[in-house]
Chains A and B, each alone.
Chain A
Amino acid sequence: MSQILDAYRGLRLGDRWDGAPTVVRWAVMLLVIAFAFYLPYLNILPFAYIRTDLTSSGSDWASVLFLVVVYMIVAVGLNVVIGLAGLLDLGYVGFYALGAYSIALFGSTNSPVVQAMQSKFGLSEEWAVPFAVCIPIAITMSLIAGVFLGAPTLRLRGDYLAIVTLGFGEIIRITARNLDNVTNGAAGITQVPVPPGPEIDGRAFFNTIDAERWYWLALTILILIIWLARRLEHSRVGRAWLAIREDEDAASVMGVAGFKFKLWAFAIGATLGGLAGLLFGSKQQYVEPNAFMVNLSFLFVAMVVIGGSGNIFGALLGAFLLTYLPERFREFVDWRPFAFGVALVLVMILRPQGLVPSRRRAREFEDRRHEAEEAAADA
């Protein structure tokens, strides 16, 4: 086993990537993105074997791709909180639920909130808050929830934070289930709005049949988010998070405002969780409390940890594996918890730092080699 791992290390993909000229890197990046957009139509053998709809009982391929990307957004957000800032958040599903419920509560004609607004302001029964307005509402709600949860709890350390966030996730779900006259309770909210778009073949652009459009939308958002997250990672903000994770007391003596940066990590994580929830709720066109059980939180944490805490691409890989594999191998559905447990234990034993550990550790800034040479020359 260790030989395999060594061989894997020998590939040194990260170093090669950094050593490649800018043109090559851009070309590779564009190719990967183009391929990702093409994935729903993938039909060339043998690659088509990765599709999940090869048997009649399989899941719709594009829908699986969509879910993978939504969970990737979740993983990028949670990676900021857990991987970079080192804050164990076990209630991430709470933000995911908040995002989904925000758009349902304000955008659906089926929502008691919208119905109350209709009767209060004498609006027609068709009226609901427009989709474009629902987005900032959902983002603001998750952000505010993140700040409100973080402000008192981020002064706690380690285990306490995990327990409080775990409670938060459950509180959101239970509230959604019990507030019958706001959220329709366990019945959930139907007619969650979809993004506007031109009608094609008499159907709305974003509908329940053409899942690939949802996938493309989510993928575009994901790419934007990765781009922004990397900016943060390679800045004083990312360094502050790492410093806090490594030694909070030493960091604060070095001038790092610990609480401020932890709260930012939390707020950014919450926002991304909310955004992912919004996409999920909108695509389903239906939200209900049972979609946001606590085990989803654990799945999210597992994605980040298995993939490689602190590394965006590790988190993406974790999200992909834990979403895609169960769908691809649906025949073995009974074995799912077992396989999941074994995989987790194996990763923890063989690669405790995750499948793709943070490359920051080996790799440095773009001009690493240049600087090293310079230093050697001066020494």
Chain B
Amino acid sequence: MPDLTTPSSANSDEAVGLEDTSDHDLIEIETSGAVGETLLEVDHVTLRFGGVVALNDVNFEIRRGEILGLIGPNGAGKTTCFNAMTGVYTPTEGKIRFKGKEIAGTKPHKINHLGIARTFQNIRLFPEMSALENVMVGCDARHKSSVVGVLFRSYRVRPTEAELPESGIRRSLAKVFGVSRHTLEERAGRRRSMELLRFVGIADRAHELARNLPYGYQRRLEIARALATEPELICLDEPAAGFNPAEKEDLMGLIRRIRDLGHTVLVIEHDMKLVLGVTDRIVVLEFGSKIAEGTPEEVARNPKVIAAYLGEPDDAA
């Protein structure tokens, strides 16, 4: 089984905050369909890099409301699968449909707007921005203010009672002239970002630069940033890589809570035990091909899967 990308010594002395994050004010996201229906369909996708066949006729679906595990040995094509789903690569053959709409070849930011977000196996935050700002970039994906609107505060909306300022003059002005949409979005975005940081358990360092955060915080920040875009489907690429067992357990709890908010979760994870514990269904890739699919129990019993995992001498996890 694959080695962990980051040596565990790098983070053993920087324990991730294990505080209870189940207490939060996030509301469930709006979803446009029923639990259990097909949300994303990977339809016989093949993806080649020159001679390398990274994905070979891969075929599976993700159902709304589930936690789907994507597992497989090193180089099986899991990350490539994410890249194809989020518009980073276009499949050589086959189709990818999200909510029935073909998305292969669509620009990454448009796919994000459709409702798919992801994290990266090798963390890719905006290092010179604070944790809070990183998440706010995610929130901005749902905001509408234009450059002109930001410059001249030209798009005004009538504020609700809760959005009105408390003090006298500002309050009357806001009542007469309305409030710029930009101001409201900025305020709401900051509040929601803070809430998300709390949700993933790293709010205590919200104002630190992303690059100064400990490893475990960075991994969680990536999740918060992805959640900020209000995705119906969130894809986590080895979110627990480099975590110790306690931290991993903690993260699996977070994944369940993410699902409880209404997000559908696709997660890549190497640790079999963890995957079996948290997922509803599992898809197994090996050398670019799907070799098994089913409930955790079915997959764990599947001889092909056992062979694929036990066949690797460095299977230690």
Whether A254 pairs with B147 at a CB distance below 8 angstroms is: no
Question: In chain B between 101 and 150, which residues have their CB closer than 8 angstroms to a CB of chain A?
Answer: 107-109, 112-113, 117-118, 120, 124-130, 132-133, 136-138, 140-143, 145, 147, 150
Question: In chain A between 250 and 272, which residues have their CB closer than 8 angstroms to a CB of chain B?
Answer: 250-258, 264, 268
**Binary interface profile of A, 220-235, with partner B (CB < 8 Å = 1, else 0)?**
0000000010011001
| Stretch of A115-123, A240-248, A276-284, A287-295 that contacts chain B | A240-248
Question: In chain B between 183 and 227, which residues have their CB closer than 8 angstroms to a CB of chain A?
Answer: 185-186, 189-190, 194, 197-198, 203-204, 206-207, 209, 225-226
A249 close to B (CB within 8 Å): yes
Partner of B140, one of A236, A264, A268, A358: A236
Whether A264 pairs with B132 at a CB distance below 8 angstroms is: no
Q: How far, in angstroms, from A250 to B206 measured CA to CA in the complex?
A: 20
A351 close to B (CB within 8 Å): no
Report B-chain residues with C-beta under 8 Å of the C-beta of A236.
Answer: 136, 140, 143, 145, 150, 182, 185-186, 189
Q: How far, in angstroms, from A31 to B86 measured CA to CA in the complex?
A: 52
Report A-chain residues with C-beta under 8 Å of the C-beta of B151.
Answer: 228, 231-232
With contact pairs A236-B143, A242-B128, A379-B17 given, residues A371 and B107 touching in the complex (Cβ less than 8 Å): no
B88 close to A (CB within 8 Å): yes
Report B-chain residues with C-beta under 8 Å of the C-beta of A249.
Answer: 88, 108, 124
- Number of interface residues, chain B, beta carbon within 8 A: 49
Whether A239 pairs with B136 at a CB distance below 8 angstroms is: yes
Whether B132 pairs with A231 at a CB distance below 8 angstroms is: no
A376 close to B (CB within 8 Å): yes
Whether B204 pairs with A379 at a CB distance below 8 angstroms is: yes
Whether B88 pairs with A253 at a CB distance below 8 angstroms is: yes
B264 close to A (CB within 8 Å): no
Whether B140 pairs with A239 at a CB distance below 8 angstroms is: yes
By beta carbon, the residue of chain A nearest B83 is A253
With contact pairs A235-B145, A252-B107 given, residues A246 and B112 touching in the complex (Cβ less than 8 Å): no
Q: In angstroms, how far is the closest chain A Cβ from the Cβ of B63?
A: 23
Whether B203 pairs with A375 at a CB distance below 8 angstroms is: yes
Q: How far, in angstroms, from A371 to B229 measured CA to CA in the complex?
A: 22
Question: In chain A between 345 and 379, which residues have their CB closer than 8 angstroms to a CB of chain B?
Answer: 358, 360-361, 364-365, 368, 371-372, 374-376, 378-379
With contact pairs A232-B147, A252-B107, A264-B147 given, residues A247 and B138 touching in the complex (Cβ less than 8 Å): no
Report A-chain residues with C-beta under 8 Å of the C-beta of B209.
Answer: 361
Q: How far, in angstroms, from A246 to B229 measured CA to CA in the complex?
A: 19
A321 close to B (CB within 8 Å): no
Whether B112 pairs with A379 at a CB distance below 8 angstroms is: no
Whether B125 pairs with A250 at a CB distance below 8 angstroms is: yes
B166 close to A (CB within 8 Å): no
The binding surface of chain A is classed by DSSP as helix
Q: How far, in angstroms, from A251 to B133 measured CA to CA in the complex?
A: 12
Whether B141 pairs with A239 at a CB distance below 8 angstroms is: no
With contact pairs A235-B150, A256-B137, A365-B190 given, residues A250 and B126 touching in the complex (Cβ less than 8 Å): yes
Whether B140 pairs with A231 at a CB distance below 8 angstroms is: no
Report B-chain residues with C-beta under 8 Å of the C-beta of A296.
Answer: none
Q: How far, in angstroms, from A228 to B204 measured CA to CA in the complex?
A: 32
Partner of A247, one of B107, B126, B141: B126
Q: In angstroms, how far is the closest chain A Cβ from the Cβ of B61?
A: 22
Q: How far, in angstroms, from A251 to B209 measured CA to CA in the complex?
A: 17
Whether A253 pairs with B112 at a CB distance below 8 angstroms is: yes
Whether A371 pairs with B206 at a CB distance below 8 angstroms is: yes
Whether A255 pairs with B229 at a CB distance below 8 angstroms is: yes
Whether A246 pairs with B185 at a CB distance below 8 angstroms is: no
By beta carbon, the residue of chain B nearest A234 is B186
Q: How many residue-residue contacts, CB under 8 A, span A and B?
A: 121
Partner of B86, one of A232, A235, A253, A379: A253
Whether A239 pairs with B88 at a CB distance below 8 angstroms is: no
With contact pairs A236-B150, A257-B109 given, residues A251 and B206 touching in the complex (Cβ less than 8 Å): no
B19 close to A (CB within 8 Å): yes
A237 close to B (CB within 8 Å): yes
Report B-chain residues with C-beta under 8 Å of the C-beta of A231.
Answer: 150-151
Whether B203 pairs with A256 at a CB distance below 8 angstroms is: no
Report B-chain residues with C-beta under 8 Å of the C-beta of A358.
Answer: 128
Q: In angstroms, how far is the closest chain A Cβ from the Cβ of B153?
A: 8
Report B-chain residues with C-beta under 8 Å of the C-beta of A264.
Answer: 147
Whether B130 pairs with A232 at a CB distance below 8 angstroms is: no
By beta carbon, the residue of chain A nearest B206 is A375
Report A-chain residues with C-beta under 8 Å of the C-beta of B86.
Answer: 253
Q: In angstroms, how far is the closest chain A Cβ from the Cβ of B42?
A: 18
Q: How far, in angstroms, from A363 to B190 measured CA to CA in the complex?
A: 15
By beta carbon, the residue of chain A nearest B135 is A254
**Binary interface profile of A, 141-177, with partner B (CB < 8 Å = 1, else 0)?**
0000000000000000000000000000000000000
By beta carbon, the residue of chain B nearest A253 is B108
By beta carbon, the residue of chain B nearest A268 is B147
Whether B203 pairs with A379 at a CB distance below 8 angstroms is: yes
Report A-chain residues with C-beta under 8 Å of the C-beta of B194.
Answer: 371, 374-375
Whether A240 pairs with B206 at a CB distance below 8 angstroms is: no
Which of B87, B108, B182 has most A Cβ within 10 Å? B108
Whether B140 pairs with A242 at a CB distance below 8 angstroms is: no
By beta carbon, the residue of chain A nearest B194 is A371
Whether A256 pairs with B109 at a CB distance below 8 angstroms is: yes
Whether B186 pairs with A368 at a CB distance below 8 angstroms is: no
Question: In chain B between 73 and 105, which residues have their CB closer than 8 angstroms to a CB of chain A?
Answer: 86-88
Enumerate the 3 nearest inter-chain pairs by beta-carbon distance, A residue then B residue, closest first: A255-B141, A255-B112, A246-B126
Residues of chain A having any CB pair with chain B under 8 Å: 228, 231-232, 235-237, 239-240, 242-243, 246-247, 249-258, 264, 268, 358, 360-361, 364-365, 368, 371-372, 374-376, 378-379
Beyond A250-B120, A254-B226, A375-B198, 19 additional contacts (C-beta under 8 Å) are: A235-B186, A236-B140, A237-B147, A239-B129, A249-B88, A249-B108, A250-B126, A252-B112, A253-B88, A254-B117, A256-B109, A256-B140, A258-B109, A360-B129, A361-B128, A364-B132, A371-B207, A375-B203, A379-B19
Instruction: List 5 A-B pairs, Cβ < 8 Å.
Output: A232-B147, A239-B140, A243-B129, A256-B137, A361-B209
